[in-house]
């Protein structure tokens, strides 16, 4: 009797705790980078300190929360999809574009105290920077196969 060869599904076994840790660590690195962008925007580029989304609390909180949620989503794709790489190739840019929608809405409505075009563009830069940092970390720690 011969044993059947294992079938490669392309799925990876990535623990939930590992995903959360990677998300938190990547979020911390991205938050530090975003604080630098915020300081640049509010300093030499002249964005108002009254624009709350560029202050330290929201920058750190939402960067880390987004990175952890992203890590959970990445883990779900990597562990459940036989085509994780293809799924992520579509999902990551789509989520990044969707993350910019509120920023575009801010530009259109001008609804937040202290808001300037510079401040909103800084938020957009933070979204792209965060995506670059966290996707790099996710790929290394939870490769899509």
Tens of pLDDT along 50-78?
A: 999 999 999 999 999 999 999 999 999 99
pLDDT confidence of residue 145: 81
Distance, in Å, from the CA atom of 130 to the CA atom of 124, rounded to the nearest integer, reads 10
Nearest Cα neighbor of 36 from 56, 51, 7, 20 is: 56
Tens of pLDDT along 8-55?
A: 455 567 799 999 999 999 999 999 999 999 999 999 999 999 999 999
* Cα four-point dihedral sign 118, 105, 90, 133: positive
pLDDT confidence of residue 110: 85
pLDDT confidence of residue 94: 98
pLDDT confidence of residue 3: 54
Taking CA atoms, 11 is separated from 89, 117, 143, in Å, by 16, 43, 10
pTM: 0.88
What is the number of helices (H) and of strands (E) in the chain? 4, 0
Q: Tell me the percentage of the chain whose pLDDT exceeds 70.
A: 92
Calculate the average pLDDT of the chain.
93
């Amino acid at each position: 009797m011969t044993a059947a060869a294992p079938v490669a599904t392309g799925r990876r076994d990535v623990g939930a705790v590992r995903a959360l840790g990677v998300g938190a660590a990547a979020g911390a690195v991205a938050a530090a980078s975003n604080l630098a962008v915020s300081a640049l925007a509010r300093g030499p580029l002249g964005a108002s300190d009254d624009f709350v989304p560029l202050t330290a609390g929201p920058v750190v909180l939402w960067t880390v929360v987004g990175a952890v949620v992203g890590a959970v989503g990445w883990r779900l794709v990597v562990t459940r999809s036989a085509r994780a790489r293809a799924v992520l190739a579509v999902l990551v840019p789509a989520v990044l574009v969707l993350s910019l929608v509120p920023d575009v809405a801010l530009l259109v409505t001008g609804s937040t105290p202290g808001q300037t075009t510079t401040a909103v563009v800084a938020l957009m830069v933070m979204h792209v920077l965060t995506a670059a940092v966290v996707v790099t970390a996710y790929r290394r720690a939870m490769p899509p196969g």
